[in-house]
A = this chain, B = another copy of it.
Amino acid sequence: MGRMSSTLQNDNFLRACLRQPTEHTPMWLMRQAGRYLPEYKATRAQAGSFMGLATNAQFATDVTLQPLDRYALDAAILFSDILTVPDAMGLGLSFAEGEGPRFAHPLRDEAAVAALQVPDLDKLRYVFDAVTSIRKALNGRVPLIGFSGSPWTLACYMVEGKGSDDYRLVKSMLYGRPDLMHRILAINAQAVAAYLNAQIDAGAQAVMVFDSWGGVLADGAFQKFSLAYTAEVVKHLKREADGRRVPVIVFTKGGGPWLEEIAGIGADVVGLDWTVNLGRARAAVGSRVALQGNLDPNVLFAPPEAIAREAIAVLDSFGPPQRPDGGWDGHVFNLGHGISQFTPPDHVTALVEAVHSHSRRQRTLGR
């Protein structure tokens, strides 16, 4: 991707991921391109459907850049869905209006699991095209993050066939037929690694693995059925592009109890939800990984003064990233979950302003 090696105008995000000095604490928001923005809704209406949006490089580029035009965010993230990979495996993804995603052919028996294969990456060409198009449109403003669901999180949807509130089917398989579950996870891990590497080839400058459902697993099961396969993915990722390190972020929602183990699988950054005390997490693993998180997205429903107060509390919980010994730890400010579709857009302005101004202040006071 030599053609893309133009200098980044704002590389604070990549630097924080790698625990290098930054001017302010960089921030982006999970689902920052989304339904809370009227301009997103307009493009979505033009595209006709969610997948119409995700499979069209121009639409995907437009919505990815929309939040950057409104807010001084420090990174862009590919607009796509975590279920593209199982869809390419032939499970038949659809989005019913007003409901979540659904698979026409969930994995419910031994024959279905036996037939599962790593998908032909050509079926995911539309994702890589979108990455290249977005990277070009960004033109070095901020780095572009690619992403995938984790092997376990994909498996949840692949077995349940849709979102679940008890994970009964996938856990029945896990406890009753662990051999089948391990086969699904091994295939998912191969597919996810190939998928993320192709995103890196297409221009992604960092990649994030969303282990959205790792936190529903029991201690012991999490390590065997989620973390081991996320580790497998991380191990097979390209870690450099255009002569620059490509940071890997791993985010396990509800993963607080396993922070030390998650920090040990080779990722550069560990994402944390809002239940985790950032100061304690930094003390435990901050010398090995950068931390990303972790404001409760519901804070964005409060008035701007309260938003600023809570954002400052998150920054102060991490503390000034420069350590007393002069070295740097890494903090990327984010929400602990995707931004809600009901968020007032101007509240995000207040958040970005608070994070940038307070984190600059932290750096001044720290000296």
Contacts and interface: CB of A to CB of B under 8 A. Distances in A.
Interface of A: 166-168, 171-172, 174-176, 215, 217-222, 254, 256-257, 274-278, 294-296, 298-299, 301-303, 306-307, 310, 313, 317, 336, 340, 342
A168 B275 contact: no
Contacts of A172: 298, 301-302
Contact of A219 (B275, B301, B307, B342): B275
A175 B299 contact: yes
A175 B302 contact: yes
Nearest to A165: B165
Contact of A277 (B174, B219, B340): B219
How many copies the complex holds: the figure is: 2
A234 B309 CA distance: 31
Given A176-B303, A218-B275, A274-B219, A166 B257 contact: no
Nearest to A342: B168
Closest 6 CB pairs of A and B: A171-B298, A175-B302, A218-B274, A172-B301, A176-B302, A218-B296
A299 B219 CA distance: 13
A167 B299 CA distance: 11
A219 B294 CA distance: 10
Contact of A168 (B294, B317, B340): B340
A254 B294 CA distance: 16
Nearest to A175: B302
Contacts of A301: 168, 171-172, 175-176
A220 B244 CA distance: 38
A273 to B, nearest CB: 9
